[in-house]
Structure 1
């Protein structure tokens, strides 16, 4: 029983550490996120400036994982080159290890005051004040968790079973590294695992060799979540995350083979907890010293090993031919095909959204989120591709076509956002509260959903053919949607007046879905405007002359 309670105490302290770290990162992001991102995007003139930028920004964000995701996104958008991104990541790794040094001091006495100040400040209305409050509260929870973790690990020094386990783990360096890496990947934080190892080392039972191996494994595992998170950002972003993983992996392998020469150098440490945090800093400084001069060749090697087509996957573009960029007609045709593919994904999102709304299927509703990531990735790829077409070779008609492709891709991305950020959230709310629409209300919503899907298919045809008659039909459908939305709203109000329970419970969700479907159709119809305007079939205003 005592060992079970000890394990629960340790896991609870570790969970509180992760929660505090999450609050700290969220608070810093709310208070200073735009400034940090702007600082990051501007500070990549050379590899040393990029290294310093990554170091300083990570001191604010408190997470090299968040930095890896952010810089991968910047690479996907063309704001940062892959070489500079790797320099930023090397600086970020050192930055997060320095944060560990600060937290290693015995500052548990500050925890109550930090929590009190954080709770008061986080309740303020001002965004920055609230963000700073969240950050202070998160820091207080982290300090409290470290104190609890230290108390929970004290009895471990007398455990013979735990001592035997650590001895076996020290004799299996690969298993030790993989175990630590798995913990860091599962928690999405190398910082949290290093602090846990520090607490275990301070309690005794872990020798210097095992400390070094667990630190190397934590650094390796911390590079895994960005690889998964960057999967929706495109090949260039994924390559940045994979290169960072390779760098940390090579560092772990080097340390494992050199462990026999390194351990004697740690003989002066009487406190192995201090050794853990120093080793964390030393490991990342060594990686920076070794790989900062080599990031150019390393990036080019990874580009050959993982070319765009090899890692493109489901989320990457299929039709954007790089060789066609010098030939505007061919490039515009490629961009058109890719934009139609975005429309197909958005249509799938609408169908899934309707199915989840009708069946209260939470898993089906959750599947919308990766589809929206795919839409975002493809829309970003189309925008960058259009920006790289040689405009000097384009005539006026081709320029108009490029603008039409861009406008339609942006509108499709907006439709995806409405489905993901509003429709799916309302569906999840309906599922969580176990609500059901009235039979008439569900029929009205389903009819509008199906009309929206039909209009999306029609918009795809208009975009491809630029046919005036199809464009007119699409424009007329907007009027039909507006009328149906008004009729459904009136019918809904009539059911409210009749006191129907289902209508009373779902009134907010019903009216919000009507509003969102109307917005979706407005975005879809926009593809018809330039066609009808060019044909002289569009009035400037719907206002009557007085």
Structure 2
């Protein structure tokens, strides 16, 4: 029982080490990895080579798939090239398995020692994150040695020998078990290494190990499908295509298992037989299927067509949960969703003027319901951002995180103001059968046009971070304030002329231009983080007030009169 527990603990340590390496590499080099992949998509062969290199670095084809799938979702990469990247990623994963199958046990204590020295003093720094990766590598090597030692003891048991002797090869059962183990461990690499170690120790026959390896490959494809199940259709195309290739490849490889055992196994030990079979399988898949990626891409796009964009306008569309493991990518997804929220707010703002001019109650109701969409998007973006590891963000990404939160809050508050304006217009104008004067309508149109222009400028500032545009936005805030005061004064002038329309809608008119000023203030707030980051904001708008001679208090005057 003790030896079985030691084996399970070693397996858990192997899985944990794989996780540390994968997440650590993505945190340190996530942005650079994305750039390398993005620049290597010119052709399928270069895309496959990029996939091989990136996966050899991050030690996870699933992680590579997450990055590439997000590129497809953003329209940056074609599906055939993305599938080529995944074929290369599987080759990279198998190369890592070959490397770890070598006797590197002497390296484990060195990696753990150096990793801890780097990690503990500076956990949030670049050196600390590299230390985390080294700790993960050391734990993986240590776990493999512990697995070998535990299984060597267990094999000496008579009961274990009897159980192993009763095993008969059932290739389909082995493939199923291997797939389930890869999903449970969240890593096909860990299962392949474990299988190779068990085969080298004699715990499982080599033919059974090869079946488990085929299953681990399918499990890796299934894992990608499950992880991206809630993503957009374009993103899901990549794991589905990768799973199709893996499944077809495993079925085609079944007849070659016997040939591998007959011609290759006699010249290698158990571990080498397993990991080299894994490498040969993925190399053969990359070579054979590389030319079929366009055909498979067409089949997948026909089977899983893109939905009508009008049907997804009211729900989060860019918040890809699969990108959370790469903070820089997740920040980009949140920024795109924030712009989506701003687009909804702009639609509400444009519709608000139509309601004021045409008294369209149906449109007013639709616009007020859109505020619920704005609120839902705000909640979704806020929750998504809280799932991003702040410690994994650099200084620039942390500022961007804060900017996105601030931007979405302003958009949500603008939506609330527009909703209240629409309710006021319905209750105090449309249902009462009142109308604004021609001069009043002209003033509202002028302020509204400035609002729309400033919102577009604010979206540009948020997207590009231009200091010049941010300064221009704050200048517009001062102009809008002066214009609001001037129009309030001219409206009061119309009241003195006893213009009937102005008298009936006076309160609504003043409230409306005041609400527009508040909306403009929220829009201009987008500029503050940009200007503050470059030190372009003054500490205060207040001018220093000269000290005034204070008057004596009542107590002091009484004391002076009665010395």
Gaps of 5+ in 2: 325-331, 344-349, 355-366, 390-408, 429-479, 488-511, 523-539, 544-563
Q: Residue 89 of structure 1 corresponds to which residue in structure 2?
A: 86
**Structure 1 residues without counterparts, runs of 5 or longer:** 310-318, 321-333, 347-368, 370-375, 388-396, 426-452, 474-528
Q: Distance between the aligned counterparts of 1:159 and 1:272, measured in 2?
A: 20
CA-CA distance at 1:215 after TM superposition: 1.0
Partner SS state of residue 223, structure 1: helix
Q: Give 3-state SS (helix, strand or coil) of 1:231's partner.
A: coil
Distance 1:379 1:38, change over 3 A: closer
Is the Cα contact below 8 Å between 1:30 and 1:127 reproduced in 2?
A: no
1:113-192 map, 5 Å: 113-125=110-122, 127-159=125-157, 161-163=159-161, 165-166=163-164, 170-192=168-190
> Aligned equivalents of 1:70 and 1:406: distance in 2?
32
- CA-to-aligned-CA distance 1:197-238 (integer Å, 9 cap, x gap): 111111114333222211111111112221112123211111
Q: Could you report, residue by residue, the CA deviation over 1:359-400 in whole angstroms, capped at 9, with x for unpaired residues?
A: xxxxxxxxxx9xxxxxx989968979999xxxxxxxxx79x9
RMSD across aligned positions (CA): 4.5
Deviation at 1:124, TM superposition (A): 4.0
Aligned pairs for 1:151-300 (under 5 A) are: 151-159=149-157, 161-163=159-161, 165-166=163-164, 170-300=168-298
Specify the alignment match of 1:102 in structure 2.
Answer: 99
| 1:107-506 equivalences in 2 (<5 Å) | 107-125=104-122, 127-159=125-157, 161-163=159-161, 165-166=163-164, 170-308=168-306, 320=309, 334=310, 338-341=312-315, 413-419=377-383, 421-422=385-386, 459=415, 462=418, 467=422, 469=424
TM-score w.r.t. structure 2 length?
0.61
How many pairs align? 395
**CA contact 1:338–1:382 (8 Å) conserved in 2:** no
Secondary structure of the corresponding residue to residue 80 of structure 1: coil
- Structure of larger gyration radius: 2
- Distance in 1 (CA, whole Å) between partners of 2:201 and 2:55 is 29
- 1:49 Cα offset (Å): 0.9
Does the CA contact (< 8 Å) of 1:58 and 1:92 recur in 2? yes
Residues 342 and 470 of structure 1: is their aligned pair in 2 closer, same or farther, counting only changes over 3 Å?
farther
Q: 2:291 aligns to what SS in structure 1?
A: coil
CA distance in 1, matches of 2:250, 2:121: 45
Deviations 1:100-125 (A, max 9, x none): 11111111111111111000111243
Does the CA-based 8 Å contact 1:117-1:133 persist in structure 2? yes
What displacement does 1:85 show?
A: 0.7
Residue 23 of structure 2 corresponds to: 26
**Structure 1 pair 98–544 and aligned structure 2 pair: CA distance change class (3 A):** closer
CA-to-aligned-CA distance 1:329-356 (integer Å, 9 cap, x gap): xxxxx3xx7444459xx9xxxxxxxxxx
SS at match of 1:268: helix
Shift of 1:68: 1.3
8 Å contact kept, 2:72–2:79: yes
